[in-house]
Amino acid sequence: MTEQPARRLLLVHAHPDDESINNGATMAKYAAEGARVTLVTCTLGEHGEVIPPQLRHLTGAALGAHRLAELTAAMRELGVEDFRLLGGKGRYEDSGMMGIADNDDPASLWQADVDDAARALVEVILEVRPQVLVTYDPDGGYGHPDHIQTHRIAMRAAELAAGAGWEIPKIYWNRVPRTVAEQAFARLQVDLPALPFGKAATVADVPGVVEDERITTVIDGTAHGAAKAAAMRAHATQIDVAEPYFALSNELAQPLFTTEYYELAHGEPAARPESDLFAGLAPQEAS
């Protein structure tokens, strides 16, 4: 049996591109430091809105296949070798935005049985034995059904895995402190005339913004900012990057954060704020 790296990080996301936007600098940092970084993506984002006109013919399964290729390229930029699709390719489909007909598709992630989906993730957890799990908050950051369901699946899988022999010591939710977001958007307003985007988004458009006191962990990924931007560019159907900003299909500019923020949802913080997701782990938890 191959010996596991001492530090093992598992991230669970809804669609290709979510990982690069939320955690790209964190993933690149830990991969560069020799940690095992494992990404599980729950859907292929088959109903995402495509930005480049020349690719807008891609829909459904064809778009999903293209986005898997984008994900592969993004992981190469971040130095991450272990990335998987929950339950295998095509097991769960993109549910679309909340309140549309795609939510009712029996193949959609939104309609998945949480325990069934969680058991597929438990298989990964028992193989990788991560000390740290990163996923979304109960609202999925901004209310997207696939993000909400991903949260439910990840948290349930952690519970089931604990009963099957591996309790994940620390579980984090993606966050952005409100003052950081407000300051970044103030800079964006000054820079906007020179950007290729006509308008700016608002703080309310950023998933996971919370009051500063809820932030437990700050990961300085400045040294890996270029890798994060390159990974985001790899998701060309979904993201238009003009560092240090980017836009989604709504064409509204928003900041590209190279320092990434987290709220510890399970486990004990080593300090406040932590500067390392693995901080405070006992030696037996790092084996």
User: In whole angstroms, what is the distance from residue 162 CA to residue 160 CA?
Assistant: 5
Q: For 220-274, what is each residue's pLDDT tens digit?
A: 999 999 999 999 999 999 999 999 999 999 999 999 999 999 999 999 988 889 9
Higher pLDDT, 272 or 51: 51
Residue 153 lies in a domain: yes
Query: pLDDT value at position 287?
Result: 53
Write phi, then psi, for 112 (nearest 5 degrees).
-65, 145
Which helix (H) or strand (E) element contains residue 97? none
Residue 101 lies in a domain: yes
Residue 18 marked in a binding site = yes
Residue 220 marked in a binding site = no
Query: pLDDT value at position 2?
Result: 58
> Any idea what the Cα angle at residue 24 is, between residues 234 and 203, rounded to 5°?
100
What CATH number should be reported for the domain holding residue 153?
A: 3.40.50.10320
Domain that holds residue 62: 8-177+208-237+260-266
Q: Does residue 101 carry a pLDDT above 80?
A: yes
pTM score: 0.96
Enter the tokens of residue 257. Answer: 């954060």
Q: Which residues of 54-71 are buried (b: 16+ CB within 10 A; e: fewer)?
A: eeeebeeeebbebbbebb
Structurally, the chain folds into a number of domains equal to 1
Q: For 119-139, what is each residue's pLDDT tens digit?
A: 999 999 999 999 999 999 999
Cross-strand pairs, 210? 177
Residue 19 lies in a domain: yes
Residue 1 lies in a domain: no
Enter the tokens of residue 69. Answer: 């290729």
User: In whole angstroms, what is the distance from residue 20 CA to residue 225 CA?
Assistant: 11
Share of the chain above pLDDT 70, in %: 98
Q: Does residue 52 carry a pLDDT above 90?
A: yes
